[in-house]
Amino acid sequence: MAVIRDLAQVNADLQEQKERIDTVDFKMITFSLAGKDYGVDIMNVKEIAKADKFTYVPNAASFVRGVYNLRGDIIPIIDLRMFFQLPVVKKDGFENMLILRINDHVYGTIVDKIDKVVGINAENIQPPHPIFGDINIKYISGVVEKQGNLYIILDVIRIFTQSEDDKQKQRGAVAEEDAGAAPEPSFAGKAAELDSVLGFLQQSLPALRQFYPSDINDEWIRRRFAEWSGSRSGDDLQLKNPAEADEYLSTFFSPDTGRFWSDDYAARVRSLLPDLKSGNIQVWNIGCGKGYEAFSFACILKSRYPGVGIKIWANDSDIMAISQAPNLVFELGDMPEFCRAYTVKGKNGYSFSQEIKDSIVFEYHDILNDNPLPDLDMVLVRDVLSFLQAAEQSRMVRSFGEKLKSGGIVILGRNEFLPGADWEFIGKEPVSVFAYTG
């Protein structure tokens, strides 16, 4: 009888163990850091993402890679390897990220590799022990074995929030160093503060200088803001007058704005032009100003496509500039080498040959109004779109697609970008060129 009772107990224990193993009441996203397996409660994971460009945050902790625009939300990015002082393998391209939601905040965390979703029974989670990881035990909520793999489960709430005791210790340490100084804000606080300032700055640029932030210039704005905030602090980050807006925008413009293009810049543009062997080349030059840009581009096209008919429709809304452009006169010393073969000497100085002049039609035109043009091979529109309101930018980009031949190109400003699947970037710094693939 005793043997029967013992066997019954063993069977009951085995059944209870099986039921405990089969019951999944805890799911985690698993990933690796420095060759070891980790997990985090799936309830704290908002999504999985990849990214390769982060905006630098000045004076942030060493493990903060910067901030990232996640579909309009600016979130801080923390490299967990650096946070735990683990080896970091440098890589080119996209980083693997877990996007975590902790209370009301969202964070991006960089890890080596994201694996899969693993379901376990919470009762199988064992208390943490220092031998299980290379990280501080206070950031580990437990360890668990699943199918031969040992997972260290991170306590991300503890990682990204401070306990009251931690805050008291921080305040005490700061008080010892400087009784009158306030504690340094956390990396999340700094990122939120900078995000707020950036938002204010983006609202100031249209008002002060009619520069309109959009997808076309967003990358430059954020890169410039990182530089700007790195050299200033506090209220100095905000744009308070047109002079400060001009200073902020000083690095935006393309090389040789308002003058003949240099030999170096012209050579870079020439190297990016498509192969055309016959026919006529039709170009729309928007915002030609006093004509320096249109004449420079005409000389490049003449040298790149000898024997091919060229017509440049050069438009500008500055009636004084556009009226003077056809009769541009200059000194030979002011002329780059690549243009000199297309110049003639007159009484008052040098001007362009009749061949070059005949290839350009200078017209006063507001590009916001419809402009009937033949099918185009190229659009030259450097540093113009960013000074149009966002809706007008979108309309102009659509019009480029409607007017360009398949394979036609748009030459934008150095710090401008054409979003959308119909555009393929083929440029090379400092020339921003997009081919139309629609």
Query: Taking the domains of the chain in order of start, what are their residue ranges?
Result: 19-160, 175-249, 263-436
Q: What is the pLDDT of residue 277?
A: 64
Q: Is 155 exposed, middle or buried (0-12, 13-18, 19+ CB in 10 A)?
A: middle
Residue 364: its H or E element: strand 360-364
Q: What CATH number belongs to 19-160?
A: 2.40.50.180
Q: What is the pLDDT of residue 54?
A: 83
Neighbours of 270 (CB within 10 A): 16
Q: How far, in Å, CA of 160 to CA of 61, rounded?
A: 13
Please tell me what DSSP assigns to residue 306: T
The fold adopted by the segment(s) 263-436 is Rossmann fold (3.40.50)
Same fold yes or no, 19-160 and 263-436: no
Query: What contacts 108, CB < 8 A, 6 or more positions away?
Result: 49, 51, 68, 70, 75, 76, 77, 78, 97, 98, 99, 100
Q: How far, in Å, CA of 399 to CA of 410, rounded?
A: 12
Query: What contacts 415, CB < 8 A, 6 or more positions away?
Result: 217, 219, 220, 251, 252, 254, 432
Instruction: Provide the residue-wise pLDDT of the chain in tens; the chain has 438 residues.
Output: 444 445 555 555 555 555 455 678 889 999 998 888 999 999 999 888 888 778 877 667 778 888 888 877 888 899 998 888 888 776 667 889 999 998 888 999 999 999 888 999 988 999 887 665 567 788 888 999 988 888 999 998 888 875 444 444 444 544 444 444 444 445 555 555 566 677 778 888 999 999 999 999 988 998 888 888 777 755 567 888 899 999 999 999 999 999 999 999 999 999 999 987 667 899 999 999 999 999 999 999 999 998 899 999 999 988 888 899 999 999 988 999 999 999 999 888 999 999 999 999 999 987 777 777 889 999 999 999 999 998 999 999 999 999 999 889 999 999 999 988 889 999 999 999 999 987
